[in-house]
Chains A and B, each alone.
Chain A
């Protein structure tokens, strides 16, 4: 497999280095065509928050990885800031396995990150649009997407929140079925409050109330997350209509006391209340946890939850590895089948099976003395039909790898050879 992959990721370089090699869509459009003159038969380039990776199918196996690394650095005018040694290089099966690991989010900074697959798809679509992704890259990336999809459906590697703000939202979702019918009340307008409010909005929270001691900041956040800013001194009213309360302010005393919650009960507000205290020092009196239908969580609880979720995700890695091995075997089998000799053998066997089938069906219509002749004639016909394609295929070995792959792939599709070879392998 003449596959080469060069790239940079959080494993090889710190953020200030890898951000220099982040390629926008326009930059990818400018870069991919430059690879063709370097004997790159097919190529795909994509950038995500934590990585930039270039996959190249080499025509003659002659491209030096350093050439590609330097080209990427030059395209971003990052010479001196990014060194080729900051980047990694992989070839053949290792490169394919790496792509599958990326698609499965095993290589992500946050194990089980769900966004990575969409980002890889975006890169592949761009290469398809530019015409730099052909038969091989199409197959390679489709298999990578299958790995990503199977990982999501067959394992729990993406289950459970692994950030504080998301964990807060996940807890609320375990109490309430449909957040669209619920009201969330965010106290504070700092970074954590903003992230949590953004996640709540992302989950289609029905009503989002925001308060802060500085009213202006509350209004700014409310505007950003399509919420409603309310004055800090009227938070008690907001509490009465809330189902979820998230507090993240710096205070020296508890701002919500058990008596505040008990007053809600007197107002005939008996339903569950999810209270998340993200403040340090804590904003909410822990005594409220003792009250019925009140679910209080603080930073320690959320951190414990995140640790448990990460452990659970790590425990799923062997299942994902098994999927990768499975799909990698399929890629290898497919690639081998595109070699000239296996294709010729498959084509010959295909034709011979048709001949035998038809002869067997009709042989009784002939006199016994003619039957040998029928065998002979049909064999000759088949040999003559496949002679020219076989000669052309053998002569085509000198053409470029991409052309040969296209030719093999076309023949396999036309005669359904790929399908029959797959069936054979399943039967085995």
Chain B
């Protein structure tokens, strides 16, 4: 059953991105009306899929990269829904949900069924570590998406082009504020995830070492985002530079989660 749901899920995400895109670029009334119900429907279906998978495999789907990708798609979509509810602004959905769609698509095609979970992954500390890291990465994705929107609007305004991007996106100040809020969340959550991870590491390995590429990658990402917060607050670095660094941070996060995790990881490789 879980595999059926797994293949239906990207169709939900595709329809969602399609509706948000049609509403943003073509101003179509049906899309404007359909997008939020579709968002709630997709989240419900995704929640059902994750629950079914948890029941079937007897562990939360956070133990492999592509399970985490699916969780990430869910977290990004859920976070976006909260933003939409709170801000009453629905224009940014297309850009954020596109990323969720690609996370889910990758997960759907590459996810493997893992009925047996190593004992070390059953620790509550591991759960806290993964949850914080997951929400941190979701925040990083959202910061990246808002930064991308900022740069698009920035260039449109610099070039005096007053098309759909100019008309539909929120103000530059809003986009910068939302990016910075997401970046602060990344710093806080990845920081906590790293701390939990280190404590858990000592708990499960007698001779713990810190040269794991995934750990180093995550610390670099965390420091990079931390630098952005400090630079913004104390050195008045604003606008375009912050956004470029935020997008770079997002790509390094993805690199750390995928390439490093799959090909170079030390103790982060559990299977």
Contacts and interface: CB of A to CB of B under 8 A. Distances in A.
B239 interface: yes
Nearest to B157: A295
Contacts of A295: 157-158
B153 to A, nearest CB: 8
Interface string A259-302: 00000000011111000000000000000010011010100010
A173 interface: yes
Contact of B171 (A173, A270, A292): A173
Contact of B238 (A171, A272, A301): A272
B166 A174 contact: yes
B237 interface: yes
Interface residues of B, number: 18
B3 interface: no
B239 A271 contact: yes
A173 B166 CA distance: 11
A305 interface: yes
B112 interface: no
Given A272-B238, A293-B239, A176 B158 contact: no
Most buried by A among B157, B166, B173: B173
A349 to B, nearest CB: 36
A372 interface: no
Contact of A270 (B160, B173, B236): B236
Nearest to A170: B162
B240 interface: yes
B238 A174 contact: no
B58 interface: no
A177 interface: yes
Contacts of A297: 160
B172 interface: yes
A160 B240 CA distance: 26
B238 A177 contact: no
A271 B157 contact: no
A23 to B, nearest CB: 39
B174 interface: yes
B157 A176 contact: no
B171 A176 contact: yes
B161 to A, nearest CB: 10
B238 A293 contact: yes
Nearest to B166: A174
A292 B240 contact: yes
B177 interface: yes
B236 A272 contact: no
Contacts of A305: 160, 162
Contacts, number: 51
A308 interface: yes
Which size class do A's interface residues fall under?
20 to 34
Question: Which secondary structure dominates chain B's binding surface?
Answer: helix
Given A295-B157, A308-B162, A177 B173 contact: yes
B239 A268 contact: no
A304 interface: yes
A174 B149 CA distance: 13
Contacts of A177: 171, 173-174, 177
A271 B153 CA distance: 16
Contacts of B171: 173-177
B142 to A, nearest CB: 19
Contacts of B167: 159-160
B125 to A, nearest CB: 41
Contact of A301 (B160, B237, B240): B160
A268 B172 contact: no
Nearest to B239: A293
B158 to A, nearest CB: 7
Contacts of A292: 239-241
B238 A175 contact: no
A308 B166 CA distance: 12
Interface in B151-167: 153, 157-158, 160, 162, 166-167
B236 A268 contact: yes
A269 B153 CA distance: 21
B157 A174 contact: yes
Contact of B240 (A289, A293, A308): A293
A304 B238 contact: no
A262 B172 CA distance: 21
B108 to A, nearest CB: 38
A69 B158 CA distance: 54
A412 to B, nearest CB: 33
B157 A270 contact: no
Given A174-B166, A174-B172, A177-B173, A271 B158 contact: no
A271 B172 contact: no
Contacts of A293: 238-240
23 contacts: A159-B167, A171-B157, A173-B171, A174-B157, A174-B166, A174-B171, A175-B157, A175-B172, A176-B171, A177-B171, A177-B177, A178-B173, A270-B236, A270-B238, A271-B236, A272-B238, A289-B158, A292-B241, A293-B239, A297-B160, A304-B160, A305-B160, A308-B162
Interface of A: 159-160, 171, 173-178, 268-272, 289, 292-293, 295, 297, 301, 304-305, 308-309
Interface of B: 153, 157-158, 160, 162, 166-167, 171-174, 177, 236-241
Q: Can you list the 4 inter-chain pairs with the closest CB atoms, starting with the nearest?
A: A177-B173, A293-B239, A301-B160, A270-B236
Given A292-B239, A305-B162, 10 more contacts: A173-B171, A175-B157, A175-B172, A270-B238, A271-B236, A271-B238, A272-B173, A293-B240, A301-B160, A304-B162
